[in-house]
Amino acid sequence: MSLPFEADDVVALQEAREEALQEAQMARVARRSRMVKRSRRERVEEQACRLDEGLKLISGLQRACKLVPPEVQKKPLEFDELPTDELRDVSERLEFDGNCFSKTRYIHPCYVKKGEEEGAYTVTCRLPVCTMGNSAIGDSLPVYSVCNKFCERLPLYRQLKFFSDRGLVGVDEQMLSRWMERTAAVLQPLYEAFYQQLLLSEDLQVYEVPTGDIRDKRPIGHMCATRSAQSGQVHYRWREELSVVVPERGVALAEPPVARELFVSAPGEGALSALFYTFMDECGRCDCDFAEWLLTTLRALPGYRGDVLALLPVSGGIV
């Protein structure tokens, strides 16, 4: 019986097949390499954050900090530092410690691995994640505004006077409101998870009171407080309806579950007030400093992968 191919033909076909497989593998590696390089270049080309237009620090601490990627710290001799681009590689971040402002100038240069082309393999270190996103406003400023408004009942215009006296000019009430709204948006998953956990209690107590504008005392909605008689945890929710409705389930109370005078600064801020009142009372129940807990939680929530309920205040301290 004769074979359809000669022995030499079989060897040639096998060699051609091996070459085709190697070319396909090289093409996949090259395509993957191009994708990695492109993503790294896009990450390097992110815009550096600056103080908002009109926002200026005329007095306060000025710091400088150079951010070096971990791989460069481990093997510094394998990388060369590229010339710093002032528009791309320098960012600013503003913080407040309760007494004075401090502006840190972060320098995050690009590094290229030796033996590579300039655009082939570049690494850089970006700013730490912040509540305000890619912003020059640090977490301490929104925390300070929230605590002053809801704990100390300090109006926004008085906060602006306090800021200007300490060297920060260009802030307005709309800017402070955006800071607090962004803070509430970051805390929203924890706020909802806390409510769902509270509804699992078998001994709920509910109190709903008409709440008015702090300026003219005109009722603009209802603040509902849901309390667990066993643990003492209280959760506030805002209702725009002016009819008394017992939410979810539970025993309606004739007196408020906690000794707190509830108020809303302006129409549309009821949900914001309810969220912060919830965590303020929880911190008070656990004998925990609200400002310290809020700052720690805001820095932990972005990118947090665990159970958010673990970030709730704990007795005798913060998480």
Please report how many Cα atoms fall inside a 13 Å half-sphere around the Cα of residue 229, on the Cβ side: 10
**For 195-215, what is each residue's pLDDT tens digit?**
988 888 888 888 776 666 655
The pLDDT of residue 293: 93
- Residue from 165, 168, 108 nearest 141 by CA: 168
**For 141-168, what is each residue's pLDDT tens digit?**
889 899 888 888 888 888 888 888 888 8
- Binning pLDDT at 50, 70 and 90, where does residue 42 land? very low
| Comparison of pLDDT for 173 and 23, the residue scoring more | 173
Tokens standing for 176? 């402070």
The pLDDT of residue 191: 93
Q: Which of 179-183, 249-253, 301-305 has the lowest mean pLDDT?
A: 249-253
Q: How far apart (Å, rounded) are the C-alpha atoms in residues 124 and 224?
A: 49
DSSP lists the bridge partners of residue 132 as none
**For 56-99, what is each residue's pLDDT tens digit?**
777 777 888 888 888 888 888 888 888 887 777 788 888 888 77
